[in-house]
């Protein structure tokens, strides 16, 4: 019986240009060894001049469609999670729909910053579950953070890379698939992460450009404190609410924020049999793309066995958090 909804195929795309710590260290006023010691990052990928978020998203989506043996014209919904859209409007998802030829799909963007992919996954799952005819959804996380970084800001310039990851959601056998999600918002902490200019409150002007208002800014220490204070507790709550024993979680695919932070988070989680899938050392923080890229790498490497319980865990600007449980 196929009355559950799960992942039918995964895909990812990383731009061909690899940027070393040595390249970003100088403008940020640090050295390469300091970057690796503080973040666990050794390299990151950067989009080419002709590549925008929609291009990365479409490339990852094409891989996911191929893995699922699904044609783009069969997709009924495309959700793109991004905080670096091609344009303020139209939605980047509309551009992806056109690039893929998914002519029958609804298309919409979700901006929950680095939590965006898990938010989008939960929303797409809910939409498919509400449709009597079922359907297929493409859920994509894609970001090109290199376009909004201040190279001299060591708190951000060293952390981010560009990339995209995608999954195809559709019907799977009962007992499989995505079966739990938990989305939380903490708007009182909205000032920890953001881009100040370019919106309705502070429209783009010569002054906002001159003052660096369009650059991404982050209060790193406060973000780390937020993660430590909230994420372990929320994971415990999710497992209790859905009667999942801690030792049943075999895999965690986290947002790849910072390697040192992830090591601390893994130590704080009471998941004795859990393997954390980490690629931040090679690809850095790719925003909304980080969870689906790591999920695709784990899937293609054969690390996820049938029946395994997988925890997706993300946190990002807003502030917000997003968790999901799926049965492989």
pLDDT per residue over 67-90, tens digit each? Answer: 999 999 999 999 999 999 999 999
The DSSP bridge partners found for residue 81 are 110, 141
255 in catalytic set: yes
The pLDDT > 70 percentage for the chain reads 99
What structural domains does the chain harbor? 4-174 (3.40.47.10), 179-327 (3.40.47.10)
Active site residue 285: yes
The yes-or-no verdict on residue 321 having pLDDT over 50 is yes
254, 264, 292, 229: which is closest to 57 by C-alpha? 292
Q: Average the pLDDT over 2-19 and give the result.
A: 93
pLDDT tens, 102-125?
A: 999 999 999 999 999 999 999 999
Q: Are 298 and 304 in contact (CB under 8 A)?
A: yes
pLDDT surpasses 80 at 134: no
Q: What digits encode the pLDDT tens for the residues 247-276?
A: 999 999 999 999 999 999 999 998 999 999
Catalytic residue among 21, 114, 125, 251: 114
- Residue 218 has phi, psi (to 5 degrees) of -150, 140
Position 2 confidence tier, pLDDT thresholds 50, 70, 90 = low
pLDDT digits (tens, 9 = 90+) for 184-227: 999 999 999 999 999 999 999 999 999 999 999 999 999 999 99
Catalytically annotated residue among 251, 255, 258, 277? 255
Residue 157 in this model has a pLDDT that exceeds 50 = yes
Percent of the chain with pLDDT over 90: 95
Instruction: Determine which one of 21, 279, 285, 320 is catalytic.
Output: 285
pLDDT at 1 over 70: no
User: What's the average model confidence in pLDDT over 128-134?
Assistant: 83
List CB contacts of 188: < 8 A, sequence separation 6 or more. none
pLDDT surpasses 80 at 58: yes
Mean pLDDT, the chain, integer: 95
């Amino acid at each position: 019986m196929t009355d559950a909804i799960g992942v039918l195929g995964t895909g990812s795309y990383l731009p061909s240009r690899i940027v070393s710590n040595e390249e970003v260290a100088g403008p940020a006023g640090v050295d390469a060894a300091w970057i690796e010691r503080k973040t666990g990052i050794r390299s990151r990928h950067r989009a080419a001049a002709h590549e925008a978020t929609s291009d990365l998203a479409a490339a990852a989506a094409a891989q996911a469609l191929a893995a699922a043996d699904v044609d783009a014209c069969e997709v009924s919904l495309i959700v793109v999670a991004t905080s670096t859209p091609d344009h303020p409007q139209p939605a980047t998802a509309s551009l992806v729909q056109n690039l893929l030829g998914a002519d029958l799909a609804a298309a919409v963007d979700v901006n929950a910053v680095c939590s965006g992919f898990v938010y989008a996954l939960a929303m797409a799952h809910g939409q498919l579950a509400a449709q009597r005819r079922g359907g297929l959804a493409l859920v994509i996380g894609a970001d090109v953070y290199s376009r909004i970084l201040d190279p001299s800001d060591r708190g951000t310039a060293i952390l981010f890379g560009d990339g995209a990851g995608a999954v195809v959601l559709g019907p799977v056998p009962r007992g499989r698939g995505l079966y739990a999600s938990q989305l939380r918002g903490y708007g009182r902490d909205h000032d920890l992460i953001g881009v100040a200019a370019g919106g309705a409150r502070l429209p783009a002007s010569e002054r906002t450009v001159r003052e660096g208002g369009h650059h991404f800014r982050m209060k790193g220490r406060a973000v780390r404190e937020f993660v430590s204070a909230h994420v372990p507790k929320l994971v415990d709550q999710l497992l209790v609410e859905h009667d999942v024993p801690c030792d049943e979680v075999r895999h965690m695919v986290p947002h790849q924020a910072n390697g040192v932070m992830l090591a601390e988070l893994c130590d704080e989680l009471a998941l004795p049999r859990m393997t954390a899938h980490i690629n931040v050392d090679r690809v850095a923080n790719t925003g909304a793309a980080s969870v689906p890229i790591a999920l695709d790498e784990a899937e293609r490497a054969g690390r996820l066995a049938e029946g395994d319980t997988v925890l997706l865990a993300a946190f990002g600007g807003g502030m917000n958090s997003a968790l999901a449980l799926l049965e492989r």
